[in-house]
A and B are shown apart, each in its own frame.
Chain A
Amino acid sequence: MTFIVHDPRGTHVAASPVLAPRPATLAGLRVGVLDNGKEQANVLLGRAAELLAADGTVATFARKPSFSRVAPPEVIDALSMCDIVITGLGG
Protein backbone atom coordinates (compact mmCIF):
# COMPACT_ATOMS: atom_id res chain seq x y z
CA MET A 1 0.00 0.00 0.00
CA THR A 2 1.50 3.25 -1.09
CA PHE A 3 -1.08 5.96 -1.60
CA ILE A 4 -2.32 7.68 1.58
CA VAL A 5 -5.28 10.04 1.76
CA HIS A 6 -7.39 11.46 4.58
CA ASP A 7 -10.62 9.73 5.54
CA PRO A 8 -13.46 12.20 4.80
CA ARG A 9 -15.93 10.65 7.23
CA GLY A 10 -14.87 12.42 10.43
CA THR A 11 -14.66 10.67 13.75
CA HIS A 12 -16.99 7.73 13.93
CA VAL A 13 -18.77 7.92 17.25
CA ALA A 14 -22.19 6.41 16.72
CA ALA A 15 -22.67 2.66 16.66
CA SER A 16 -24.77 1.44 13.78
CA PRO A 17 -28.34 1.07 14.95
CA VAL A 18 -29.33 -2.46 15.87
CA LEU A 19 -32.98 -3.54 15.84
CA ALA A 20 -34.33 -4.61 19.22
CA PRO A 21 -35.20 -8.30 19.55
CA ARG A 22 -38.72 -9.06 18.29
CA PRO A 23 -41.07 -10.36 21.01
CA ALA A 24 -42.78 -13.69 20.28
CA THR A 25 -46.02 -12.43 21.84
CA LEU A 26 -47.44 -9.15 23.10
CA ALA A 27 -49.06 -10.92 26.08
CA GLY A 28 -48.09 -9.17 29.29
CA LEU A 29 -46.02 -6.52 27.54
CA ARG A 30 -46.58 -2.80 27.91
CA VAL A 31 -47.10 -1.53 24.36
CA GLY A 32 -46.72 2.02 23.07
CA VAL A 33 -47.77 3.52 19.75
CA LEU A 34 -45.86 6.55 18.45
CA ASP A 35 -47.55 8.57 15.71
CA ASN A 36 -44.74 10.44 13.96
CA GLY A 37 -47.19 13.21 13.07
CA LYS A 38 -46.91 13.00 9.30
CA GLU A 39 -50.09 12.99 7.27
CA GLN A 40 -52.10 9.77 7.62
CA ALA A 41 -49.70 8.05 10.03
CA ASN A 42 -52.52 8.33 12.56
CA VAL A 43 -54.83 6.34 10.26
CA LEU A 44 -52.60 3.28 10.24
CA LEU A 45 -51.30 3.59 13.79
CA GLY A 46 -54.71 4.47 15.23
CA ARG A 47 -56.10 1.34 13.61
CA ALA A 48 -53.19 -0.68 15.02
CA ALA A 49 -54.03 0.64 18.50
CA GLU A 50 -57.71 -0.30 18.00
CA LEU A 51 -56.79 -3.83 16.96
CA LEU A 52 -54.49 -4.16 19.96
CA ALA A 53 -57.28 -2.98 22.26
CA ALA A 54 -59.68 -5.53 20.72
CA ASP A 55 -57.09 -8.15 21.64
CA GLY A 56 -56.97 -6.86 25.19
CA THR A 57 -53.79 -4.78 24.91
CA VAL A 58 -54.38 -1.11 25.68
CA ALA A 59 -51.49 0.78 24.17
CA THR A 60 -50.05 4.08 25.34
CA PHE A 61 -50.53 6.47 22.41
CA ALA A 62 -48.18 9.39 21.79
CA ARG A 63 -47.81 11.81 18.89
CA LYS A 64 -44.75 13.81 17.81
CA PRO A 65 -45.68 17.49 17.45
CA SER A 66 -43.51 17.74 14.32
CA PHE A 67 -42.58 14.88 12.02
CA SER A 68 -39.51 16.84 10.94
CA ARG A 69 -37.96 17.03 14.39
CA VAL A 70 -36.83 14.44 16.92
CA ALA A 71 -39.43 13.51 19.55
CA PRO A 72 -39.32 15.96 22.48
CA PRO A 73 -38.45 14.66 25.98
CA GLU A 74 -42.11 14.60 27.14
CA VAL A 75 -43.03 12.23 24.30
CA ILE A 76 -40.07 9.97 25.08
CA ASP A 77 -41.00 10.10 28.78
CA ALA A 78 -44.59 9.11 27.99
CA LEU A 79 -43.35 5.96 26.25
CA SER A 80 -40.40 5.17 28.51
CA MET A 81 -42.32 2.62 30.59
CA CYS A 82 -43.21 0.58 27.52
CA ASP A 83 -41.56 -2.74 26.67
CA ILE A 84 -42.12 -2.21 22.96
CA VAL A 85 -43.18 0.76 20.84
CA ILE A 86 -44.84 0.55 17.44
CA THR A 87 -44.23 3.46 15.10
CA GLY A 88 -44.41 4.28 11.41
CA LEU A 89 -44.13 7.07 8.86
CA GLY A 90 -47.08 8.81 7.27
CA GLY A 91 -46.96 10.43 3.89
Chain B
Amino acid sequence: MLDFANEDSAYEAFVARYSDGLPVVLPTPERVRAMLTGTRENPDDVLGHVYPSGNLATVRDVAVNAVMAGAEPRQLRTILATLEALLDERFNLNGLQSTTHCATPLVIVSGPHAAEAGLAAGNNVLGNGHRGNLSVGRAVRLVMTNVGGGRPGETDMSVQGTPAKISFCVAERLDAGCWPSLAERQGGEPGETSVTVMAADGPVTVTDHRSATPERLLRNVADTLRHMGAINAAKPGPAALLLAPQHARVIARAGWNVADVQRFLFEHARNPVWRLREGGEWDPVLTPRMVARYGDAEDPQTLVPALETPESLIVAVTGGDSGGFSAVVTSWPASAVLHRFIDADGSYSKPRAARERVLA
Protein backbone atom coordinates (compact mmCIF):
# COMPACT_ATOMS: atom_id res chain seq x y z
CA MET B 1 0.00 0.00 0.00
CA LEU B 2 1.10 3.56 -0.67
CA ASP B 3 0.22 6.38 1.68
CA PHE B 4 -0.34 9.95 0.49
CA ALA B 5 -1.25 13.21 2.21
CA ASN B 6 -4.43 13.51 0.19
CA GLU B 7 -6.14 12.35 -2.99
CA ASP B 8 -4.68 15.13 -5.13
CA SER B 9 -1.09 14.27 -4.24
CA ALA B 10 -1.79 10.58 -4.90
CA TYR B 11 -3.27 11.47 -8.29
CA GLU B 12 -0.29 13.62 -9.23
CA ALA B 13 2.14 10.88 -8.23
CA PHE B 14 0.28 8.14 -10.10
CA VAL B 15 -0.04 10.12 -13.33
CA ALA B 16 3.66 11.00 -13.17
CA ARG B 17 5.04 7.60 -12.16
CA TYR B 18 2.58 4.79 -12.87
CA SER B 19 0.63 5.71 -15.97
CA ASP B 20 0.91 5.31 -19.74
CA GLY B 21 0.96 9.08 -20.03
CA LEU B 22 -2.77 9.53 -19.58
CA PRO B 23 -4.57 10.08 -16.28
CA VAL B 24 -5.42 6.92 -14.33
CA VAL B 25 -8.10 5.96 -11.84
CA LEU B 26 -6.60 5.69 -8.35
CA PRO B 27 -6.60 2.09 -7.08
CA THR B 28 -8.22 2.61 -3.69
CA PRO B 29 -8.88 -0.49 -1.56
CA GLU B 30 -12.62 -0.15 -2.27
CA ARG B 31 -12.15 -0.02 -6.04
CA VAL B 32 -9.71 -2.95 -6.03
CA ARG B 33 -12.13 -5.03 -3.94
CA ALA B 34 -14.87 -4.24 -6.43
CA MET B 35 -12.60 -5.17 -9.35
CA LEU B 36 -11.78 -8.52 -7.73
CA THR B 37 -15.47 -9.47 -7.86
CA GLY B 38 -14.74 -10.01 -11.57
CA THR B 39 -12.91 -13.27 -10.83
CA ARG B 40 -13.22 -16.23 -8.50
CA GLU B 41 -9.45 -16.60 -8.43
CA ASN B 42 -7.63 -16.08 -5.14
CA PRO B 43 -6.28 -12.49 -5.10
CA ASP B 44 -2.97 -13.78 -3.71
CA ASP B 45 -2.43 -16.29 -6.52
CA VAL B 46 0.73 -15.53 -8.47
CA LEU B 47 0.54 -15.33 -12.25
CA GLY B 48 4.29 -15.13 -12.67
CA HIS B 49 7.33 -12.94 -13.06
CA VAL B 50 6.89 -9.95 -15.33
CA TYR B 51 10.11 -9.02 -17.10
CA PRO B 52 12.37 -7.14 -17.44
CA SER B 53 11.96 -6.19 -13.74
CA GLY B 54 11.14 -9.77 -12.75
CA ASN B 55 8.60 -8.53 -10.21
CA LEU B 56 5.80 -10.95 -9.39
CA ALA B 57 2.22 -10.23 -10.44
CA THR B 58 -0.61 -11.60 -8.34
CA VAL B 59 -4.28 -11.58 -9.32
CA ARG B 60 -4.64 -8.55 -7.00
CA ASP B 61 -1.76 -6.71 -8.69
CA VAL B 62 -3.51 -7.20 -12.02
CA ALA B 63 -6.77 -5.94 -10.52
CA VAL B 64 -4.96 -2.83 -9.23
CA ASN B 65 -3.71 -2.00 -12.71
CA ALA B 66 -7.11 -2.85 -14.21
CA VAL B 67 -8.71 -0.25 -11.92
CA MET B 68 -6.10 2.28 -13.03
CA ALA B 69 -6.85 1.51 -16.70
CA GLY B 70 -10.54 2.27 -16.23
CA ALA B 71 -11.65 -1.35 -16.63
CA GLU B 72 -14.84 -2.79 -15.20
CA PRO B 73 -14.84 -6.01 -13.14
CA ARG B 74 -16.40 -7.89 -16.08
CA GLN B 75 -13.18 -7.37 -18.08
CA LEU B 76 -10.88 -8.80 -15.42
CA ARG B 77 -11.04 -12.40 -16.65
CA THR B 78 -9.98 -11.37 -20.14
CA ILE B 79 -7.12 -9.31 -18.68
CA LEU B 80 -5.98 -12.24 -16.53
CA ALA B 81 -6.15 -14.70 -19.44
CA THR B 82 -4.14 -12.30 -21.60
CA LEU B 83 -1.44 -12.01 -18.95
CA GLU B 84 -1.37 -15.79 -18.46
CA ALA B 85 -0.41 -16.05 -22.11
CA LEU B 86 2.05 -13.13 -22.07
CA LEU B 87 3.91 -14.55 -19.06
CA ASP B 88 4.47 -17.89 -20.81
CA GLU B 89 8.21 -17.87 -21.49
CA ARG B 90 7.62 -18.83 -25.13
CA PHE B 91 6.03 -15.40 -25.61
CA ASN B 92 9.38 -13.80 -24.62
CA LEU B 93 7.87 -10.76 -22.90
CA ASN B 94 11.36 -9.79 -21.71
CA GLY B 95 12.48 -9.38 -25.31
CA LEU B 96 9.30 -7.64 -26.41
CA GLN B 97 9.49 -5.16 -23.53
CA SER B 98 13.06 -4.15 -24.28
CA THR B 99 13.27 -4.36 -28.09
CA THR B 100 14.05 -1.38 -30.31
CA HIS B 101 11.19 -2.60 -32.53
CA CYS B 102 7.72 -1.02 -32.25
CA ALA B 103 5.92 -4.25 -31.35
CA THR B 104 3.19 -4.70 -28.77
CA PRO B 105 0.81 -7.52 -27.82
CA LEU B 106 -2.25 -7.87 -30.08
CA VAL B 107 -5.11 -9.44 -28.11
CA ILE B 108 -7.91 -11.24 -30.00
CA VAL B 109 -10.88 -12.43 -27.93
CA SER B 110 -13.06 -15.06 -29.59
CA GLY B 111 -16.15 -16.57 -27.98
CA PRO B 112 -19.27 -15.79 -25.98
CA HIS B 113 -17.44 -14.32 -23.00
CA ALA B 114 -16.36 -11.35 -25.14
CA ALA B 115 -19.89 -9.94 -25.14
CA GLU B 116 -20.28 -10.63 -21.40
CA ALA B 117 -17.06 -8.68 -20.89
CA GLY B 118 -18.40 -5.74 -22.89
CA LEU B 119 -15.89 -6.15 -25.72
CA ALA B 120 -16.81 -4.67 -29.08
CA ALA B 121 -16.47 -6.46 -32.42
CA GLY B 122 -18.36 -4.04 -34.66
CA ASN B 123 -17.78 -0.62 -36.16
CA ASN B 124 -14.45 1.05 -35.39
CA VAL B 125 -13.35 -2.04 -33.45
CA LEU B 126 -9.68 -1.03 -33.64
CA GLY B 127 -10.42 2.57 -32.77
CA ASN B 128 -11.97 4.75 -30.13
CA GLY B 129 -15.32 4.40 -28.42
CA HIS B 130 -15.04 0.97 -26.80
CA ARG B 131 -14.30 1.06 -23.11
CA GLY B 132 -14.00 -2.71 -22.79
CA ASN B 133 -11.47 -3.20 -25.58
CA LEU B 134 -9.46 -0.12 -24.66
CA SER B 135 -9.29 -0.88 -20.96
CA VAL B 136 -8.28 -4.54 -21.51
CA GLY B 137 -5.35 -3.43 -23.67
CA ARG B 138 -4.52 -0.57 -21.37
CA ALA B 139 -4.59 -2.74 -18.23
CA VAL B 140 -2.20 -5.19 -19.89
CA ARG B 141 0.10 -2.30 -20.84
CA LEU B 142 0.00 -0.90 -17.27
CA VAL B 143 0.96 -4.31 -15.82
CA MET B 144 3.83 -4.46 -18.33
CA THR B 145 4.91 -0.96 -17.30
CA ASN B 146 4.31 -0.93 -13.56
CA VAL B 147 4.98 -4.55 -12.58
CA GLY B 148 7.30 -5.43 -15.48
CA GLY B 149 9.20 -2.15 -15.48
CA GLY B 150 8.94 -1.58 -19.23
CA ARG B 151 9.49 2.18 -19.26
CA PRO B 152 10.12 4.10 -22.49
CA GLY B 153 13.73 5.18 -22.83
CA GLU B 154 14.81 3.21 -19.73
CA THR B 155 14.15 -0.46 -20.45
CA ASP B 156 11.62 -0.08 -23.29
CA MET B 157 14.01 0.89 -26.09
CA SER B 158 11.38 1.07 -28.85
CA VAL B 159 12.56 3.62 -31.41
CA GLN B 160 9.12 4.88 -32.37
CA GLY B 161 6.56 2.63 -30.72
CA THR B 162 3.04 2.52 -32.15
CA PRO B 163 -0.32 3.87 -31.00
CA ALA B 164 -1.24 0.18 -30.55
CA LYS B 165 1.08 0.11 -27.52
CA ILE B 166 -1.56 2.06 -25.62
CA SER B 167 -4.18 -0.62 -26.29
CA PHE B 168 -4.63 -3.29 -28.98
CA CYS B 169 -7.57 -5.59 -28.26
CA VAL B 170 -10.35 -6.79 -30.56
CA ALA B 171 -13.19 -9.25 -30.19
CA GLU B 172 -14.29 -11.54 -33.01
CA ARG B 173 -17.69 -11.28 -34.70
CA LEU B 174 -19.55 -14.49 -33.92
CA ASP B 175 -22.53 -13.56 -36.12
CA ALA B 176 -20.80 -13.11 -39.47
CA GLY B 177 -22.01 -16.54 -40.52
CA CYS B 178 -18.92 -17.49 -42.48
CA TRP B 179 -16.77 -19.98 -40.60
CA PRO B 180 -16.29 -21.52 -37.16
CA SER B 181 -14.91 -18.96 -34.72
CA LEU B 182 -11.19 -18.66 -33.98
CA ALA B 183 -11.84 -20.29 -30.59
CA GLU B 184 -13.56 -23.27 -32.24
CA ARG B 185 -10.72 -23.60 -34.74
CA GLN B 186 -8.28 -23.60 -31.80
CA GLY B 187 -10.13 -26.59 -30.32
CA GLY B 188 -12.26 -24.70 -27.86
CA GLU B 189 -15.21 -26.51 -26.38
CA PRO B 190 -18.72 -25.11 -26.80
CA GLY B 191 -19.08 -21.99 -24.68
CA GLU B 192 -15.36 -21.48 -24.23
CA THR B 193 -13.71 -18.23 -25.21
CA SER B 194 -10.13 -17.98 -26.40
CA VAL B 195 -7.74 -15.11 -25.83
CA THR B 196 -4.95 -15.09 -28.44
CA VAL B 197 -1.80 -12.97 -28.19
CA MET B 198 0.74 -12.08 -30.86
CA ALA B 199 3.72 -9.71 -30.65
CA ALA B 200 2.48 -7.30 -33.28
CA ASP B 201 3.20 -4.33 -35.48
CA GLY B 202 0.43 -1.77 -35.74
CA PRO B 203 -2.43 -2.69 -38.10
CA VAL B 204 -2.28 -1.86 -41.83
CA THR B 205 -5.58 -1.25 -43.60
CA VAL B 206 -6.47 -3.31 -46.68
CA THR B 207 -9.04 -1.44 -48.77
CA ASP B 208 -11.04 -3.37 -51.36
CA HIS B 209 -14.60 -2.67 -52.48
CA ARG B 210 -14.21 -4.19 -55.93
CA SER B 211 -13.25 -7.81 -55.54
CA ALA B 212 -15.99 -10.37 -56.04
CA THR B 213 -13.70 -13.40 -55.85
CA PRO B 214 -11.43 -14.66 -53.05
CA GLU B 215 -8.43 -14.69 -55.37
CA ARG B 216 -8.70 -11.01 -56.33
CA LEU B 217 -9.35 -9.91 -52.75
CA LEU B 218 -6.62 -12.03 -51.17
CA ARG B 219 -3.96 -10.97 -53.67
CA ASN B 220 -4.48 -7.49 -52.22
CA VAL B 221 -4.14 -8.90 -48.69
CA ALA B 222 -1.02 -10.82 -49.78
CA ASP B 223 0.59 -7.62 -51.06
CA THR B 224 0.09 -6.02 -47.64
CA LEU B 225 1.37 -9.09 -45.80
CA ARG B 226 4.64 -9.21 -47.72
CA HIS B 227 5.46 -5.49 -47.63
CA MET B 228 9.16 -4.92 -47.32
CA GLY B 229 9.00 -2.83 -44.16
CA ALA B 230 7.82 -5.74 -42.02
CA ILE B 231 10.26 -8.24 -40.55
CA ASN B 232 8.00 -10.92 -42.04
CA ALA B 233 9.43 -10.10 -45.49
CA ALA B 234 12.95 -11.21 -44.60
CA LYS B 235 12.03 -13.67 -41.85
CA PRO B 236 8.84 -15.71 -42.34
CA GLY B 237 6.75 -15.66 -39.19
CA PRO B 238 3.24 -15.24 -37.82
CA ALA B 239 0.73 -12.57 -38.81
CA ALA B 240 -2.92 -11.81 -38.20
CA LEU B 241 -5.65 -11.05 -40.71
CA LEU B 242 -8.56 -9.16 -39.15
CA LEU B 243 -11.15 -9.64 -41.85
CA ALA B 244 -14.04 -7.27 -42.32
CA PRO B 245 -17.35 -9.18 -42.43
CA GLN B 246 -17.90 -7.95 -46.01
CA HIS B 247 -14.57 -9.42 -47.09
CA ALA B 248 -15.18 -12.65 -45.18
CA ARG B 249 -18.52 -13.06 -46.99
CA VAL B 250 -16.91 -12.64 -50.42
CA ILE B 251 -14.50 -15.43 -49.54
CA ALA B 252 -17.00 -17.74 -47.82
CA ARG B 253 -19.61 -17.38 -50.59
CA ALA B 254 -17.10 -18.90 -52.99
CA GLY B 255 -16.92 -21.96 -50.75
CA TRP B 256 -13.54 -21.20 -49.22
CA ASN B 257 -12.83 -21.98 -45.57
CA VAL B 258 -10.15 -20.49 -43.31
CA ALA B 259 -7.60 -23.16 -44.25
CA ASP B 260 -8.08 -22.16 -47.91
CA VAL B 261 -7.37 -18.53 -46.98
CA GLN B 262 -4.26 -19.53 -45.05
CA ARG B 263 -2.93 -21.70 -47.89
CA PHE B 264 -3.58 -19.03 -50.53
CA LEU B 265 -1.79 -16.36 -48.51
CA PHE B 266 1.11 -18.67 -47.66
CA GLU B 267 1.56 -19.22 -51.40
CA HIS B 268 0.96 -15.66 -52.59
CA ALA B 269 2.38 -13.44 -49.83
CA ARG B 270 5.93 -13.97 -51.10
CA ASN B 271 8.83 -11.83 -52.21
CA PRO B 272 11.37 -12.90 -54.82
CA VAL B 273 14.99 -13.07 -53.72
CA TRP B 274 15.88 -10.16 -56.05
CA ARG B 275 13.49 -7.88 -54.18
CA LEU B 276 14.74 -9.02 -50.77
CA ARG B 277 18.30 -8.31 -51.90
CA GLU B 278 17.38 -4.82 -53.12
CA GLY B 279 16.14 -3.55 -49.78
CA GLY B 280 14.91 -4.23 -46.28
CA GLU B 281 16.37 -6.61 -43.73
CA TRP B 282 18.42 -8.87 -46.03
CA ASP B 283 21.26 -10.35 -43.93
CA PRO B 284 24.08 -11.65 -46.14
CA VAL B 285 24.68 -14.66 -43.86
CA LEU B 286 21.36 -15.49 -42.21
CA THR B 287 18.86 -14.70 -44.97
CA PRO B 288 20.30 -17.09 -47.59
CA ARG B 289 20.16 -19.89 -44.98
CA MET B 290 16.50 -19.11 -44.39
CA VAL B 291 15.77 -18.84 -48.13
CA ALA B 292 17.24 -22.31 -48.65
CA ARG B 293 14.17 -23.74 -46.89
CA TYR B 294 12.06 -22.50 -49.80
CA GLY B 295 14.39 -22.81 -52.79
CA ASP B 296 17.73 -21.80 -54.29
CA ALA B 297 18.99 -18.69 -52.47
CA GLU B 298 21.15 -17.84 -55.49
CA ASP B 299 18.18 -17.77 -57.86
CA PRO B 300 16.73 -14.22 -57.95
CA GLN B 301 13.29 -15.65 -58.75
CA THR B 302 13.03 -17.90 -55.68
CA LEU B 303 9.95 -16.87 -53.74
CA VAL B 304 10.15 -16.47 -49.96
CA PRO B 305 6.90 -16.46 -47.93
CA ALA B 306 6.03 -13.84 -45.33
CA LEU B 307 4.30 -16.59 -43.32
CA GLU B 308 6.35 -19.42 -41.83
CA THR B 309 3.52 -21.89 -42.46
CA PRO B 310 -0.09 -21.51 -43.62
CA GLU B 311 -1.17 -21.95 -39.99
CA SER B 312 1.06 -19.04 -38.94
CA LEU B 313 -1.75 -16.76 -40.10
CA ILE B 314 -4.38 -16.00 -37.46
CA VAL B 315 -7.71 -15.25 -39.14
CA ALA B 316 -10.50 -13.51 -37.23
CA VAL B 317 -13.61 -11.73 -38.51
CA THR B 318 -14.18 -8.37 -36.89
CA GLY B 319 -15.51 -4.89 -37.63
CA GLY B 320 -18.69 -3.29 -38.93
CA ASP B 321 -20.91 -4.75 -41.64
CA SER B 322 -20.62 -2.11 -44.31
CA GLY B 323 -17.40 -1.48 -46.13
CA GLY B 324 -14.42 -3.33 -47.51
CA PHE B 325 -11.70 -2.55 -44.99
CA SER B 326 -9.73 -5.33 -43.34
CA ALA B 327 -6.47 -5.13 -41.41
CA VAL B 328 -3.20 -7.01 -41.75
CA VAL B 329 -1.02 -7.23 -38.65
CA THR B 330 2.54 -8.39 -39.17
CA SER B 331 4.66 -9.56 -36.25
CA TRP B 332 7.83 -9.32 -34.18
CA PRO B 333 9.39 -12.72 -34.80
CA ALA B 334 11.12 -13.62 -31.52
CA SER B 335 7.84 -14.60 -29.90
CA ALA B 336 5.30 -17.42 -30.15
CA VAL B 337 1.61 -16.85 -30.83
CA LEU B 338 -0.22 -18.30 -27.83
CA HIS B 339 -3.74 -18.60 -26.57
CA ARG B 340 -5.59 -19.34 -23.37
CA PHE B 341 -9.19 -20.36 -22.85
CA ILE B 342 -11.72 -18.76 -20.58
CA ASP B 343 -14.11 -21.46 -19.41
CA ALA B 344 -17.80 -21.38 -20.23
CA ASP B 345 -18.46 -20.54 -16.57
CA GLY B 346 -16.20 -17.50 -16.90
CA SER B 347 -13.12 -18.49 -14.92
CA TYR B 348 -9.86 -17.82 -16.70
CA SER B 349 -7.86 -20.91 -17.39
CA LYS B 350 -4.93 -21.88 -15.25
CA PRO B 351 -2.03 -23.27 -17.23
CA ARG B 352 -3.28 -26.61 -18.48
CA ALA B 353 -0.69 -28.43 -20.49
CA ALA B 354 -3.14 -30.08 -22.83
CA ARG B 355 -4.80 -26.78 -23.64
CA GLU B 356 -1.70 -24.67 -24.11
CA ARG B 357 -1.22 -25.01 -27.81
CA VAL B 358 1.32 -22.96 -29.67
CA LEU B 359 -0.18 -21.71 -32.91
CA ALA B 360 3.08 -20.62 -34.42
Contacts and interface: CB of A to CB of B under 8 A. Distances in A.
Given A4-B28, A68-B92, A10 B50 contact: yes
A54 B354 CA distance: 56
A2 B28 CA distance: 12
Contacts of B64: 6-8
Contact of B5 (A1, A6, A8): A1
Contacts of B26: 5
A32 B104 CA distance: 34
* Chain A interface SS verdict (over half): loop
B146 A8 contact: yes
A21 interface: no
Interface of B: 1-7, 9-10, 14, 18, 26-29, 32, 49-50, 53-58, 60-61, 64-65, 67-68, 92, 94-95, 99-100, 142, 146-147, 283, 332-334
B5 to A, nearest CB: 6
B33 to A, nearest CB: 10
B138 to A, nearest CB: 13
Interface stretch (A11-19, A22-30, A45-53, A76-84): A11-19
A70 B6 CA distance: 43
Given A11-B55, A13-B54, A68-B92, A5 B334 contact: no
Contact of A2 (B5, B54, B56, B100): B5
A41 to B, nearest CB: 13
Contact of A10 (B6, B9, B92, B146): B146
Given A8-B147, A10-B58, A68 B334 contact: yes
A70 B61 contact: no
A1 B13 CA distance: 15
12 contacts: A4-B2, A5-B2, A6-B27, A6-B29, A8-B61, A10-B50, A10-B55, A10-B57, A10-B58, A11-B61, A13-B49, A70-B94
A15 B38 CA distance: 33
A8 B56 contact: no
B55 A8 contact: no
Interface residues of A, number: 20
Given A9-B146, A11-B61, A4 B94 contact: no
Nearest to A66: B334
Contacts of A11: 55-58, 61
The 6 A-B pairs at the shortest CB distance, nearest first, are namely: A68-B334, A14-B54, A10-B147, A10-B55, A11-B56, A8-B146
B9 A8 contact: no
Contact of A5 (B27, B58, B332): B27
A2 B4 CA distance: 6
